[in-house]
Structure 1
Amino acid sequence: MNQSSLTTVSFWAGALLPLVYVPILITGINSTSQFGLLVALLALNVAALVLGHEYPETRPR
C-alpha cells in the first residue's frame, strides 16, 4: 500500500468510524469490555484522523 492509499483509507476510516459509536452508545456501556471497545474505537479514530489529515492534498488530479 503506497502513501496516498494509506492516507485515503485513513481519511475515510476517520470519517466513518464515528458511525460505529452510535449503536454502542444507544445500547449503553454496561460492562468493562464494552467500555474497552469504545476506548479502542476512539483511539483508532484518532489514529485514522492523524494519518488521513492530508487526504485532499494527496489525491491525484
Structure 2
Amino acid sequence: MPNAPTITTVSFWLGTLLPVVYLPLLVSGIDSGGRFGLLVSLLALNVVALVLGHDYPENRPR
C-alpha cells in the first residue's frame, strides 16, 4: 500500500488537473444521461481528490 505522502501528492495533482478533463465535456454540452452521469462522477472524484490532497504543500520535503 502506498504511503500517505504519495497518496496526498497524487490526490493533490489529480484534484488540480481533473478540471482540464471535464471542461471539454461542459463546453460540448450535457445532452444525455450518460454524459450527465460522467460529469457528476468526475466532479465527485475531483472533490475526493481535493480533500485527500489538501495537505500537499505542507507535507512536501523542502
The alignment's C-alpha RMSD in Å is 0.7
Stretches of structure 1 that go unaligned for 5 or more consecutive residues are none
In the comparison of the two structures, how many residue pairs are matched? 61
Structure-2-length-normalised TM-score: 0.93
| TM-score, length of structure 1 as denominator length | 0.95
**What is the SS of the residue equivalent to 1:33?**
helix
Deviation beyond 2 Å, 4+ runs, structure 1: none
Mapped to 1, the partners of 2:10 and 2:44 lie a distance apart of: 16
Question: 2-side partners of 1:12 and 1:18: how far apart?
Answer: 11
Aligned match of 2:49: 48
Structure 2 residue runs of 5 or longer lacking an equivalent are none
